[in-house]
């Protein structure tokens, strides 16, 4: 089967505008989650990771929304370090998001024009044309596994020989519409989130963008590959995860079979770890079923909040840099075990000879995803 390599990556977040800046901030223990007092988003203060005062700027045309500007700048940052060109017929653009431009509903009357502008395929077309992609872009929007599903989609397109390069990017921004939705589920924590901790009580939201460029060109084989990936669905509940963890376990197992590795060869796990009571419990059950409850594990939600459609990409980029640096980052906010299935949750920086990482994600509607990243 065709090998698929990580050619380049980029993160734009409140912690920095490059992957290296973001990784350095996390390694120093810095979190972007802070108390927000913004009545445009919520009448009550809330904790989240947001760009300061909507101050994110880019040289992109004013016709682009903040969501689209983040995508454009993140893709540019990743393309700057490789010879891959958007105008190459062998290069495909894949965009992941859960909410896209949904915030436009807050300020504009519903009309045919708004319905067209708010559509994810409209954003994808505008971004692709601005960056010079000649192939029709692919949009992936499947709740909070969108980023990982986009990576798996790109991997499979390259393995099938349809393309040689895939530029995979994802972003989400936090609006009143988005925040109020999570508040209606009583899913927002009243404090900085605590993934996998016994005192966890909900998520913090975050905004940002991540990009990973995949290539089958062996010029990029020297560092990290995406070795396998799989998805599954609980078919349990519109918002509640599986009670058993068996479905995420199935995705993990298939991803590892795809990657041709065993549980003993996984050096660390980058979990979804939203810090909600039921999601973390479900993940713990799945990881225990997979025989990896002793494998070092972290969640990055305490640093970035939950960045929705960008989460899988941002967290995969950090995992890539963890493999390169041989460092597993601690789980910000975690103090003590909060599951009937205890995991080896990292509380401090862990150094070692790292070769393989398992990255997981789960989302509303019962969707699950897992990928395996490996050092070449």
Neighbours of 351 (CB within 10 A): 9
Model confidence band, residue 239 (pLDDT cutoffs 50, 70, 90): confident
Q: Which two tokens stand for residue 375?
A: 């050092």
Nearest to residue 226, comparing CAs of 369, 32, 30, 47? 369
Crossing angle of the two packed helices 120-131 and 66-79, in degrees rounded to 10? 40
Cβ contacts of residue 109 below 8 Å, gap of 6+? none
Identify the DSSP state of 16.
Answer: B
Each domain of the chain, given as residue ranges in start order, spans 5-220, 224-375
Q: 105, exposed or middle or buried, with CB in 10 Å at 0-12, 13-18, 19+?
A: middle
Identify the three-state secondary structure at position 209: strand
Residues paired with residue 137 on neighbouring β-strands, in sequence order: none
| Residue 350: closest CA among 249, 279, 270 | 270
Antiparallel, parallel or unpaired: β 5-12 and 208-215? antiparallel
Tens of pLDDT, residues 307-328: 999 999 999 999 999 999 999 9
Locate 99 and state its tokens: 């909410």
Beta bridge partners of 139: 95
Residue 99 has pLDDT above 60, yes or no: yes
Higher pLDDT pick, 236 / 24: 24
Q: What pLDDT does 235 receive? A: 86
pLDDT at 227: 98
- Taking all residues of the chain, what is their mean pLDDT, rounded to a whole number? 95
Quick one: the chain helix, strand, coil %, rounded to 5?
A: 35, 25, 40
58: pLDDT strictly greater than 90: no
pLDDT at 240: 82
State the pairing for strand pair 5-12/205-206.
Answer: unpaired
pLDDT at position 55 is 56
Strands 46-49 and 208-215: unpaired
Beta strand 34-36 pairing with 46-49: antiparallel
Q: Rounded mean pLDDT of 330-338?
A: 97
pLDDT higher than 80, residue 59: no
Percentage of residues in the chain having pLDDT higher than 70: 97
Domain 224-375, CATH class in plain words: alpha beta
pTM: 0.97
In the chain, what is the greatest distance between 2 CA atoms, to the nearest angstrom? 56
Q: Which of 229, 127, 214, 124 is nearest to 164 (CA)?
A: 214
According to the model, what pLDDT value does residue 236 have? 82
Residue 217 has pLDDT above 70, yes or no: yes
Q: Where are the alpha helices (DSSP H) in the chain?
A: 19-27, 66-79, 112-118, 120-131, 146-159, 176-184, 246-259, 277-289, 301-304, 311-325
Domain 5-220 classification at class level: alpha beta
pLDDT mean over 62-71: 92
Which of 289, 213, 194 lies closest to 251 in space, CA to CA? 289
| pLDDT band, very low/low/confident/very high, at 56 (cuts 50, 70, 90) | low
Average pLDDT of the residues in 324-345: 96
* The residue to which tokens 């789960």 are assigned: 362
> Tell me: the pLDDT tens digits for 257-278?
999 999 999 999 999 999 999 9
Are domains 5-220 and 224-375 of this chain identical in fold? yes
- In this structure, the number of other CB atoms found within 10 A of the CB of residue 375 comes to 18
Q: What is the pLDDT of residue 351?
A: 97
Name the pLDDT band for 238 (thresholds 50, 70, 90).
Answer: confident
Mean pLDDT of 332-337: 97
**Where is pLDDT greater, at 50 or 109?**
50
Instruction: State residue 57's pLDDT score.
Output: 47
Give the phi and the psi of residue 224 in degrees, each rounded to 5. -120, 140
């Amino acid at each position: 089967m065709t090998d698929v390599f990580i050619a380049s990556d980029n993160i734009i977040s409140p912690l920095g505008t490059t992957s290296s800046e973001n990784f350095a901030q996390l390694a120093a223990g810095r979190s972007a989650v802070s108390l927000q007092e913004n009545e445009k988003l919520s009448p009550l203060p809330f904790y989240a990771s947001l760009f300061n005062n909507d101050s994110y700027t880019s040289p992109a045309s004013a016709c682009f929304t903040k969501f689209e500007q983040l995508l454009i700048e993140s893709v540019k940052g990743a393309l700057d370090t490789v010879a891959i060109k958007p105008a190459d017929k062998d290069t495909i653009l894949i965009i992941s998001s859960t909410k896209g431009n949904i915030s436009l509903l807050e300020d504009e009357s519903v009309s045919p024009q708004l319905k067209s502008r708010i559509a994810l395929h409209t954003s994808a077309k505008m971004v692709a044309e601005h960056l010079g992609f000649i192939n029709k872009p692919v949009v992936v929007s499947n709740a909070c596994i969108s980023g990982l599903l986009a990576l798996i989609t790109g991997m499979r397109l390259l393995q099938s020989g349809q393309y040689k390069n895939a530029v995979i990017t994802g972003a989400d921004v936090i609006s009143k519409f988005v925040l109020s939705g999570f508040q209606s589920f009583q899913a927002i924590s009243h404090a900085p989130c605590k993934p996998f901790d016994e005192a966890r009580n909900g998520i913090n939201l975050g905004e940002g963008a991540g990009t990973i460029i995949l290539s089958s060109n062996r010029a990029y084989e020297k560092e990290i590959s995406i070795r396998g990936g799989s998805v599954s669905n609980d078919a349990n509940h519109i918002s509640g995860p599986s009670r058993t963890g068996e479905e995420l376990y199935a995705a993990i197992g298939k991803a590892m079979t795809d990657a041709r590795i065993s549980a003993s060869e996984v050096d660390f796990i980058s979990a979804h770890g939203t810090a909600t009571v039921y999601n973390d419990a479900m993940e713990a059950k799945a990881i225990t079923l997979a025989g990896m409850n002793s494998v070092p594990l972290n969640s990055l939600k305490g640093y970035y909040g939950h960045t929705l459609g960008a989460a899988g990409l941002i967290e995969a980029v950090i995992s890539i840099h963890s493999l390169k640096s041989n460092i597993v980052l601690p789980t910000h906010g975690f103090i003590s075990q909060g599951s009937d299935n205890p995991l080896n949750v990292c509380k401090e920086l862990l150094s070692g000879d790292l070769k393989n990482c398992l990255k997981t994600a789960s989302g509303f509607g019962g969707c699950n995803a897992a990928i395996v990243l490996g050092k070449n």
